[in-house]
Amino acid sequence: MKTKHVIDLDSLSTEELMEIIELANDIRQAPQEYSDVCKGKILATLFYEPSTRTQMSFKTAMLRLGGNIIGFDNPQNSSVSKGESLKDTVTVVGGYADIIAIRHSLEGAAKAASLYSAAPVINAGDGGHLHPTQTLTDVVTLYNEKGTLDNMTIGLCGDLKNGRTVHSLIKTMSHFKGNRFVLISTPELTVPQYIKDIMNASGCRYTEVRSLAEAIPSLDVLYMTRIQRERFRSFEEYEKQRGVFVLDREKMCLARRDMKILHPLPRVDEIAEDVDYDDRAKYFDQTVYGMYARMALIMKMLENADRKPMPRVADTHSVRCSNPNCISYTEEYLPRIFRPLGGDMLLCRYCEGRNLI
C-alpha cells in the first residue's frame, strides 16, 4: 500500500481496495494460513469514544493474525483524564506499537494523530465525519452478497447528517461505476454539503426523499442507520428525529427479493427485531466480514510500513477552523491546514468543513 495511514479510504486506489477485499476473502476461506503473519507485532487501540464492533473486531483481527494488543477503551482510565493532549498520547503510543487504531468524538482526530505517530494510524471513526474501516466492512459484505460493487441503487436511510459510516460509504461507492444513491432522511438530517459535492464531482446520480416505503421498491441495497443521539445538542432535538424511519416486515414486503439490508450497528429502534429473520438481512453477517476486512487491512498496512515520524507540518493559513466539532478547534496547537476551494472558501484538512476566509 502506498499510503502509510488510513484516515479516509480515498487514500487507497481502487486496485488497492480490491486487493484488500480479495485478501479478506482469502483469509475467510483459510484463516489457519494467516494465524502467525503478525507474530511479534503490536496493535494499539485508542478508543476515546465507546465501541463494541470496531474495537473488538480490531483486537480479534490482530489476535487471529498472531499479534498482540494494547490500548484503552475508556480515556478516563488513561492519562487523557489528567489533561494529556492527543499529540502527546499518540507520540508515546506510536513508540510502543506497530500500528494504531483510533476512535474519537471529534472530527479530524485520526488525521491529527497521523501527524505525530511513527506507527501507521487507522481511523476507527472520527466524530460525525468518517469511518473508513466500517466502509471496508460494507464493501466486503456487498462484494460477497451482491457479487459486484458497480451499477447498484443504494438507499441510505436515517441520520445522514451525523452518520459517519454513510459519508465514508458514499465517498467510496462513488468511485465505482454506475452507482446511484437514494438518500432517505428528514430535512434536518440530510448529508453534508461536501458529500453532495463529491457525488456531483463523480457524476453519481442521487435523489433525496422523505419516505422509506416509497423508496424501497427500487433498491438493490438498503443501508439503515440509527439516529446518532450523542451528536445532538439536546435530547429534545433527538426526540424529534427518533422513530421517523423504521424498517419492518410490512415495508420488507415492498422490497425486491434480492435487496440486501446492511446496517453498521448498533441498532436502536430503526429495524424491527423480526426483520432479523428475513434472509435479506445481512447486518449480523456484516460484522463477521468486518473482522476479516480488518485482518486484511492490518496485514497490508504492516507489509511495508516505515517508522519515520512525520516531519513538522506548517500552517497553510492563519484562520482557525470554525467547526466546533473539529479537533483543530479544541486542540489549538495543531497546524491550521486547509485546501483552497476557490473564491473565499477553504476546506479544513481535518474535518472537511468549509471555512470562509
Residue among 89 and 135 whose Cβ is closer to ligand CP: 135
Residue 242 binds ligand CP, judged by CB under 6 A: no
Q: How far is the CB of 351 from ligand CP (least distance, A)?
A: 18
Confirm or reject binding of residue 128 to ligand CP (CB under 6 A): no
Q: Tell me how far apart the alpha carbons of residues 147 and 127 are, in angstroms, rounded to a whole number.
A: 31
At closest approach, how far in Å is the CB of 265 from ligand CP? Answer: 5
Q: Which of 178, 217, 243, 266 binds ligand CP (CB under 6 A)?
A: 266
283-322 positions binding ligand CP, by CB under 6 A: none
Does the protein bind ligand CP through residue 53 (CB under 6 A)?
yes
Nearer to ligand CP, 166 or 173 (CB): 166
For ligand CP, the binding residue among 45, 51, 141, 174 (CB under 6 A) is 51
Question: What cell does 34 get?
Answer: 494467516
CA angle 24, 33, 60 (to 5 degrees): 60
Alpha helices in 178-316 (DSSP H): 193-202, 212-215, 235-241, 249-252, 283-303
Among 13, 14, 52, 193, binds ligand CP (CB under 6 A): 52
Name which of 134 and 141 has its Cβ closer to ligand CP.
134
Q: Does 45 bind ligand CP (CB under 6 A)?
A: no
* Rounded Cα distance, 271 and 225, in Å: 9
Distance between CA atoms of residues 165 and 124, nearest Å: 11
Instruction: Check binding of 185 to ligand CP (CB under 6 A).
Output: no
Looking at the Cβ atoms of 51 and 162, the one nearer to ligand CP is 51
Binding of ligand CP by 265 (CB under 6 A): yes
CB closer to ligand CP out of 67 and 264 = 264
Task: Give me 270's grid cell.
Answer: 430503526
Reply yes or no: is the peptide bond before residue 217 cis, omega within 30 of 0.
no
Which member of 94, 132, 192, 264 binds ligand CP (CB under 6 A)?
A: 264
Of the candidate spans 7-15, 47-55, 193-201, 335-343, the one that interacts with ligand CP by CB under 6 A turns out to be 47-55
Options 45, 89, 114, 134; binder of ligand CP; rule CB under 6 A: 134
d(CA 169, CA 263): 12
Q: Which residues of 37-64 are buried (b: 16+ CB within 10 A; e: fewer)?
A: bbeebbbbbbbbbebebbbebbbebbeb
Judged by CB, which is closer to ligand CP: 266, or 324?
A: 266
Q: Look at residues 177, 143, 161 and name the one whose alpha carbon lies nearest to residue 22.
A: 143
Residues 87-116 that bind ligand CP (CB under 6 A): none
Phi, psi of 208 (to 5 degrees): -110, 120
Is residue 99 within 8 A of residue 67, CB to CB? The reply is: no
Residues binding ligand CP (CB under 6 A): 51-55, 125, 134, 264-266
